[in-house]
Amino acid sequence: MNNPSSRSILLSGIKHCGKSTIGALLARRIGLPFLDLDDLVEEESLANRGGDRAVRWGVREIYRRLGKDEFVRLEQKALRILMEEGGRFVLALGGGTQENPENRKLLSELGCLVYLSEEAEILYKRVSSGGIPPFLDAEDPRGSFEELYRTRDRLYRRTADIVLPLEGRNPADAAEYIEQTLKEHISGR
């Protein structure tokens, strides 16, 4: 198991669990830079297309236009760059990052993997609050979300160094909870 005191902190979790929001707050609390893997993928995609900032694509557009294989390649490249650059940081991962075995290997070398576990009901409300997102089946959004939740929850639990149940905490309380849990983990309590 990775020692969080000497490694970067990698936050995994199902979409809308708060990886980016909580991660930014946690990074400030512990004095580390905050990074979001989605942002790094967007930068890599932009660099591959010649750097024309007028044609900046978000991660969904990258995935739609370039396909899953290219998206995974961009994720892996961004993770390798982080490894080469070194240093410590808090990194919010994409929801599907850990589905790829090569990504899991890179993550295990990069830092302490923390799964921000949240109740399915809370996440479904957040995910669907702005309408049914395209990654859910429009005919059965609840059923497709529950299947995604079950699959990813098993994966995240299996690969995490630390599993933290958020239990509906607001982002500030969640960041404080994570910081305290990491301190306890380091001290071996």
Which tens digit of pLDDT belongs to each residue from 157-188? 999 999 999 998 999 999 999 999 988 877 66
Instruction: Examine the pLDDT at 3 and tell me if it is beyond 80.
Output: no
* pLDDT tens, residue by residue, 49-66: 776 666 778 887 888 888
pLDDT at 2: 42
Look-up: residue for tokens 């024309």?
Answer: 52
| Closest to 120 measured CA to CA, from 154, 86, 92 | 154
Tokens of 69: 């294989």
pLDDT > 90: percent of the chain: 68
At 1, the pLDDT band (50, 70, 90 cuts) reads very low
* pLDDT tens, residue by residue, 96-123: 899 999 999 999 999 999 999 999 999 9
pLDDT at 187: 66
* pLDDT tens, residue by residue, 120-154: 999 999 988 888 877 788 899 999 999 999 999 99
pLDDT at 188: 64
pLDDT at 52: 67
Q: Is residue 168 packed enough to be buried (19+ CB in 10 Å), middle (13-18) or exposed (0-12)?
A: exposed
CA distance 89 to 107: 13
Look-up: residue for tokens 């929801």?
Answer: 95
| Closest to 92 measured CA to CA, from 114, 77, 109 | 114
Q: What are the two backbone dihedrals, phi and then psi, of residue 33, each rounded to the nearest 5 degrees? A: -70, 150
pLDDT at 171: 95
When pLDDT is averaged across residues 89-102 and rounded to a whole number, the result is: 94
When pLDDT is averaged across residues 63-92 and rounded to a whole number, the result is: 92
CA distance 144 to 153: 14
